[in-house]
Amino acid sequence: MIEKIVEKSLNDKELSEKEIKDLFKVPVFSKQSSLLLWAARKKSAQVSNGFAEVHAQIGLNITPCPQNCLFCSFAARNKVFTDSFELSIDDAVFQARQFEAEKANAIYLMTTANYSFEKFIETSKEIRRALKRDTVLVANIGDFTLVQAQELKHVGFSGIYHAVRLGENHDTCILVEKRLETMRNAQEAGLLVGTCVEPVGIEHSIDELVEKTIITRDIKPVYSGAARRILIPGTKLAKYDIVSESKMALILAIVRLSLSSTVKGNCTHEPNVVGACAGANLLWAEVGSNPRDIIKDTEKKRGMSVQDCISILKEAEWSVLDGPSQLYATSL
Is residue 72 part of the contact set for ligand SF4 (CB under 6 A)? yes
How many residues at the interface with ligand SF4, by CB under 6 A? 12
How many CB atoms are located within 10 Å of the residue 325 CB? 28
Q: Is the distance from CB of 149 to CB of 188 less than 8 angstroms?
A: yes
Is residue 67 part of the contact set for ligand SF4 (CB under 6 A)? yes
Is residue 113 part of the contact set for ligand SF4 (CB under 6 A)? yes
What span, in angstroms and rounded, lies between the C-alpha atoms of 195 and 159? 11
Helices (H), the chain: 2-10, 17-24, 31-47, 89-101, 117-130, 146-155, 176-188, 206-218, 245-258, 273-277, 306-315
> Coil, helix or strand for 288?
strand
Show the site string, 156-185: x = touches ligand SF4 by CB under 6 A, - = not.
----------------x-------------
Residues facing residue 194 across a β-bridge: 161, 223
Q: Which stretch binds ligand SF4 (CB under 6 A): 12-20, 70-78, 299-307, 320-328?
A: 70-78
What span, in angstroms and rounded, lies between the C-alpha atoms of 296 and 291? 10
Is residue 260 part of the contact set for ligand SF4 (CB under 6 A)? no
Out of 51, 74, 144, 161, the only residue in the binding site for ligand SF4 (CB under 6 A) is 74
Out of 271, 291, 303, 324, the only residue in the binding site for ligand SF4 (CB under 6 A) is 291
**Residue placing its CB nearer to ligand SF4 in the complex, 75 or 320:** 75
Is residue 196 part of the contact set for ligand SF4 (CB under 6 A)? no
User: How does DSSP assign 58-79, residue by residue?
Assistant: EE-EE--BTT--TT-TTBGGG-
Is residue 330 part of the contact set for ligand SF4 (CB under 6 A)? no
Name the residues that contact ligand SF4, by CB under 6 A. Answer: 65, 67-69, 72, 74-75, 112-113, 142, 172, 291
